[in-house]
Structure 1
Amino acid sequence: MYANKRYLTIAWFLVIPALLIRAFTTVYPIVETFRISFFDIKILRGINQFVGLQNYVNIFHDPKVIEAIGFTAIFVIGSMIGHVVLGVILALILNMKFAGQKILRTIVLLPWALPMVVVAIASKWAVNNDYGLINDFVRWFNPSFHMDWLINTFTARTAVIAVDLWKDLPFFAILVLASLQFISSDVYEAASIDGAGSLRSFFKITLPLISRNIFVLSIFFTMWRITSFDVVYAMTAGGPGNSTDLIAYRITTEAFTNLNTGYSAAMAVTLFFVMAILSGLSLYASKKVDY
């Protein structure tokens, strides 16, 4: 009994420093963000006064924030539709038996292994009208083609969504592929004997068996999309105007460019609650999935 208490004491003695560091780097910033969200803090003007819930009210009356929320919704929905549809198709291709299968799987994962900032900067160069790879390719067929992709609102938004999709689609597909490999080949053999073709087998067997896994993956990927920052930061800086502002980028802009600390903290807290709700939903959904 004494020995057990001694070991427990030693264990706590070793763990407490890590817990203190974790509390200082995680708990304290969260608590401080909640606190300053009730203050009007403008560093350049020397303003620091309590305003209660006014910062939260201002969020829903700020045109820039409303526009950022709108594009964030477009970004998340557009990206996730692409992830689910193209991810399942890519996973089905990678699940086929053919020579060089392992090599192809490795190559497919390469975009995901690259840092998003690197991908975004390279994409910014690729869509440049004068020396970009994409316009240069189109001009092989249409020499008079001219397109400033990041100047027009629609094309800039489309480019941001496409880059995000290209970057993370392989990872989504690999996770779906893992689900596919849990399906026994005996099920498909039985369906084939009963006269089911490939298309019918997909909709009657494959899709129902992986649908719950896709749902859980979609929740996690949606959460990552909502907090996306680096693709816009490195590729468009929110332009043209504020048309490609994501909510996470708008928070950063208010905090570090406009130095409107209290207001940015209120937006961060609001986003925190949204993410908390999605986290709870993902945990609930995870428990309902039969692996």
Structure 2
Amino acid sequence: MKTAYTAKQNPGLKTPAARSSAKLKLAWLLIIPVLLIRGFTTLYPSLVTLYNSFFEINMFKGGQHTFVGLDNFIQVFRDDKVITSLKFTVTFTVVSMVLHIILGILMALMLNLNFKGKKFLRTITLIPWAMPMIVTGIAAKWAFNDSYGLVNDLIRRVFPGFHFDWLIHSASAQAAVIAVDLWKDVPFFAILLLAGLQFIPEELYESARMDGAGTVKSFFKITLPLLLPTLLTLCIFFTLWRIVSYDIVYAMTSGGPGDSTSLLAYRIAIEAFTNLNIGYGSAIAVCLFVLMMVFSSLNLLAIKRSEQ
């Protein structure tokens, strides 16, 4: 009653409920522009892509739409080029992420040691990550050339007469693409893990040493369990980046030899913008979205289990 009386006598005063409502309205007012932008740049294109996947779109007749139902999706699973791209996308993602984890942890542990010049080393470690992928891909294409490439030049210093064109053989081209991806992104992955290592109290390692635990045991009993939430969270983002990779293949191999290094994102671009098969390219994009959801769900499941 006192609050109500005060509010009547002083119209400028607001009750706690009114102030809370005003703050909520202000929050929504500030968030709505962001939601509109995200909806326009993310939700709308996604819905249009899903819609187009059910049509055959003839760009030579002004974008004429012909409803074909699930025919585009059926064609996806019958297209040998798409199946090849899907296989390499899965291989590229899984192998790259496994090596990201192993090499990233090793590099993070090394950068976490106390030695002179560690700040300088941490800084230059990020140079590969800072380079645009399109530039890295073009440089890698030259580096793996048999005649004048850096890779074969270094090998020939040990084995004179060595000749091998890495990018004209399927297996070696796939390995080269994965190696370049690792060279570029593992340093950034390691720096992020290094940030996680900084939050592990040194007292835990001192207690472990007093109990007779060695370096290896301390790593598996202290470092890895405490680093696991950070590691799994990073895996979600890095996995999604691997799945939608396009520029490395575009610059380095153009999907060749044949279609052996063609990732799904690259196949979508070829179908939609080179072959002007918008409906079919949209169907492949929907399948890629489902693949991303599967990998994301597996990562989230791993995070949930690690917290139990």
TM-score normalised by the chain length of structure 1:
0.90
Aligned 8 A contact 1:44 1:259 in 2: no
Partners of 1:164 and 1:128 lie apart in 2 by 17
Whichever residue aligns with residue 26 of structure 1, its letter is T
Determine if contact 2:232/2:299 at 8 Å carries over to the other structure. no
Of 187, 200, 204, the residue aligned with 2:217 is: 200
**How far does the alpha carbon of each residue in 1:34-86 deviate from its partner, in whole angstroms, 9 at most, with x for none?**
11110112434776311101111111111000000111111111111110111
Match of 2:41 in 1: 25
Alignment of 1:103-118 (within 5 A): 103-118=120-135
Distance 1:10 1:199, change over 3 A: closer
Query: Counterpart of 2:213 in 1: which secondary structure?
Result: coil
Distance 1:146 1:30, change over 3 A: same
Mapping 1:120-159, distance limit 5 Å: 120-159=137-176
- The alpha-carbon deviation at position 286 of structure 1 amounts to 5.7
- Paired amino acid for 1:248: A
Distance in 2 (alpha carbons) for counterparts of 1:105 and 1:148: 34
| 1:18–1:197 distance in 2 versus 1, CA, 3 Å | closer
1:189: which partner in 2? 206
Query: What is the CA distance between 1:139 and its match in structure 2?
Result: 1.5
* Unmatched 5+ stretches in structure 1: none
Highest relative contact order (Cα 8 Å, sep 6+), 1 or 2? 1
SS where residue 150 of structure 1 aligns? helix
Cα 1:200–1:23, aligned 2, differ >3 Å: closer, same or farther?
closer
- Taking the TM superposition and a 5 Å limit, the aligned residue runs for 1:225-240 are 225-240=242-257
2:10 maps to none
Distance 1:124 1:100 in 2: 33
What is the TM-score normalised by the length of structure 2?
A: 0.85
Shift of the 13–221 alpha-carbon distance from structure 1 to 2, 3 Å rule, reads: closer
Change (3 A) 1:138 1:31: same
Greater mean alpha carbon deviation, residues 279-288 or residues 262-271: 279-288
> Are 2:81 and 1:86 equivalent residues in the alignment?
no
SS of alignment partner, residue 65 of structure 2: strand
> How many residues of Structure 1 are paired with residues of Structure 2 in the alignment?
290
Structure-2 change in CA distance of 1:29 and 1:190 (3 Å)? same
Letter in 1 for 2:121: L
Distance in 2 between residues matched to 1:152 and 1:280, nearest whole Å: 34
Paired amino acid for 1:112:
W
Deviation at residue 23 of structure 1 after TM alignment:
3.7
Query: What is the Cα deviation at residue 13 of structure 1?
Result: 7.6
Secondary structure, counterpart of 1:245 in structure 2: coil
Question: What is the distance in 1 between the residues matched to 2:28 and 2:209?
Answer: 60
- Per-residue deviation, 1:6: 9.4
Q: Counterpart of 2:126 in 1: which secondary structure?
A: helix
- Kept after mapping to 2: 8 A contact 1:41/1:47: yes
| Greater radius of gyration (CA) | 2
Q: 1:98 to 1:151 in 2, by over 3 A?
A: same
Contact 1:213 1:289 in 2 (8 A): no
Does structure 1 residue 267 correspond to structure 2 residue 284? yes
Unaligned regions of 5+ residues in structure 2, if any?
1-13
